[in-house]
A = this chain, B = another copy of it.
Amino acid sequence: MLQTRSGKRTGKAALRIAVDMAEEGLITRDEAVLRIDPAALDQFLHPTLDPKADRKVIAKGLPASPGAAGGKAVFDADTAEKWAAAGEKVILVRTETSPEDIHGMHAAQGIVTARGGMTSHAAVVARGMGRPCVSGAGMLAIDHKARRMRVGGHVIEEGEIITIDGASGEVMLGAVPTVQPELVGDFGTLMAWADSVRRLRVRANAETPLDCRTAREFGAEGIGLCRTEHMFFDSERIMNVRRMIVAEDEAGRRAALADLLPAQRGDFAEIFRIMAGLPVTIRLLDPPLHEFLPQAEQDIAEVAAAAGVTIDMLRRRISELHEFNPMLGHRGCRLGITYPEIYEMQARAIFEAALEVAEAPIPEVMVPLVATRAELAIIRALIERTAEAVFAEKGRRVDYQVGTMIELPRAALAAGAIAQEAEFFSFGTNDLTQTALGVSRDDAGRFLTQYVEKGIFPRDPFVSIDVEGVGELISIAAERGRAARPGLKLGICGEHGGDPASIAFCEAAGLDYVSCSPYRVPVARLAAAQAALRNAA
C-alpha cells in the first residue's frame, strides 16, 4: 500500500498545491485526496511551535498527543486546577496519570509523563481532550513531594516555565512561541472531496459536551464511544460513586445510585442535544471499581468521613477490591452481572434522557468486555426490562439498540453466538490488542520500543493494528457475526480508529464505521477516503 509522503514540504503548502492542481484540472480530485498524508493534517488542528523560534530541548518522550503548549510546570492535578483557575497557564508533569488526575489534565495546557506509552492513560485522555501530551519521558526524575524534577543537569522547580511539543515528543526549557492553527479554505475543500468518496462513516469517542461539540465541528457523524465512567469522576459525583462501592449491600448501593441518576441523565441529555440527529453509542460502566477509590493515605480518611464509613471499613474495601491484573479483572459486563443495579441505573438514565430531549438520537447501548453470549443475554434482558419500565412510566417509547464491544479473543471467536443478542459490534481494539498479544499497554514501554527496533512488530501495535493477529480476530468476528445476523452494524472504537493504516484495514474488512478522538476525526475522514480509493483501484 502506497502512502504519499509530503517530503519536506509543509502540510499547508502540500495542501495548497494539491487543491490548486485539482482545480486547474492537472490532477483529479481523487488524486488530490490521495496526495495528502493524513498525519500532516494535525498541524491544521493544533498549535505548532514557531519554526523560527529558539528551543532548548531538555527531554524527549513519545509524541503522545499533538500540539505545542507552554506554561508553568506543576506536579499534581489539584495545583494545576488551582493555578489555572487563577489565570495561569500550566503544564501538568506526572510520573504517570490516573483517572484522579482528569481535572488537572483538563485545566492544563499540556501534559508530560515520565512513564507510559502511546496508549497510556495520559496519552489516551490527552488525545481525547485535544491536549498536547508527551508521555514516557523516562529521563525526567520527578519528585512529586519536593515539587521539582531533575533532567540532565537541570532542576526544574514548580512554577518554572516549560514548553512541550506533543507532535515530536520534545520537552523544552522556557517559553517557546507557538503558531495557532487556521482551518483555511483549502482544508475545507479537500475534506469535502474526501467525504464525497469515502464509504466508512467516521464517529468520535467523546463524553464531555466540549468533546462532543469539537467532534461535530470536525465532522464526526456520531459518537462511537461515550465512556460513562469519565462522568463518575466529577468531584460532586465521585462521592456517590464511592458510597455505592463501600455500601454493605444492594440496598446501600441502590441508594447511592439513585443519587447518581439525575447527574447521569443530565449528561446523556446534553450529549443527545449536541448530537441531535446522529447516533450515540453509550458504553456502560467498564473500569474495575477500585479505580474510583482513593489510594493515598491522607485521602482515605477524608473519603471515609465523606462516605460515612470508618477508615478501617474503607481500607478493608480497598484491600478486598485490590487486583493483581486489573485489566483482566472484575470490570466491564462482569460488574453488570454481579451488581446489576449499576447497569440498571445507567440504562434508566439513558432512556429517561432520550425521552427528555426533543430530537434525541437513537441511543446505542453498548455492553463492554463480553466474552460469551450468555453474558450479553443477561445484560440485554436487564436493559430491555429497564427500558420498558421507563417507557411505561413516561407513557412514550424511543427506539434504541443493544450491542457489544468485541474486545476479547474469545468474543471474536464466539461472534456468531454473540450476534444473536447484539444489533451492533464495536471492536475495542485497545483491549483486543492487549489480550490477543498478551501485552499490557501501560507496561509495554519497557520492551515495545526494542520490539519495534528489532522488527518484531513493524509498528507499535497499539498505534497501528496488528493485522496478522488482532486483524484476523476482527475478520473472524465480522464474518461470523454477519453470517448470524445479516446487516449487523460493525465499527471500531479503539485508538486505532484514528490511525490511517488501521483505517485502511477497516475498509478492507468491510466495517461500517471507525470512531476516534475528536481531534483525529479529520485525519480519519481523509484516511477513509484514501482507503476507499485504493480499495477500488
Contact = CB atoms under 8 A, between A and B. Distances in A.
A470 B410 contact: yes
A329 B443 contact: yes
A468 B20 CA distance: 57
A456 interface: yes
Contacts of A325: 325-328, 434, 440, 442-443
A324 B442 contact: yes
Interface in A329-367: 329-330, 334, 337-338
A324 B287 CA distance: 14
Interface string A418-432: 000000000000010
A469 B330 contact: no
Contact of A338 (B334, B434, B450, B457): B450
A342 to B, nearest CB: 13
B438 A328 contact: yes
A56 interface: no
B414 A446 contact: no
A334 B443 CA distance: 12
Nearest to A375: B456
Contacts of A456: 337, 372, 374-375, 378
A425 to B, nearest CB: 16
Chain A interface size, as a band, is 35 or more
Given A330-B443, A454-B374, A431 B435 contact: no
A437 interface: yes
Contacts of A446: 329-330, 338
A455 B434 CA distance: 27
A473 B440 contact: no
A144 to B, nearest CB: 12
A interface: dominant SS: helix
Nearest to A289: B446
Nearest to A332: B438
B328 A440 contact: yes
A146 to B, nearest CB: 14
Interface in A363-383: 369, 371-372, 374-375, 378
B413 A473 contact: yes
A507 interface: no
Contact of A324 (B334, B437, B443): B443
B330 A328 contact: no
A323 interface: yes
Contact of A414 (B442, B443, B468): B468
Given A338-B450, A435-B436, 19 more contacts: A324-B443, A325-B326, A325-B327, A325-B434, A325-B443, A328-B434, A328-B438, A328-B439, A328-B443, A329-B446, A337-B454, A375-B456, A378-B456, A407-B438, A409-B409, A409-B473, A410-B470, A413-B469, A431-B438
30 contacts: A323-B443, A324-B326, A324-B442, A325-B326, A325-B440, A326-B443, A327-B438, A328-B328, A328-B435, A328-B439, A328-B440, A329-B446, A330-B447, A334-B447, A334-B451, A337-B450, A337-B451, A337-B456, A338-B446, A338-B450, A371-B437, A371-B469, A372-B468, A407-B438, A409-B409, A410-B466, A413-B436, A431-B438, A435-B435, A435-B436
Interface of A: 323-330, 334, 337-338, 369, 371-372, 374-375, 378, 407-410, 413-414, 417, 431, 434-440, 442-443, 446-447, 450-451, 454-457, 466, 468-470, 472-473
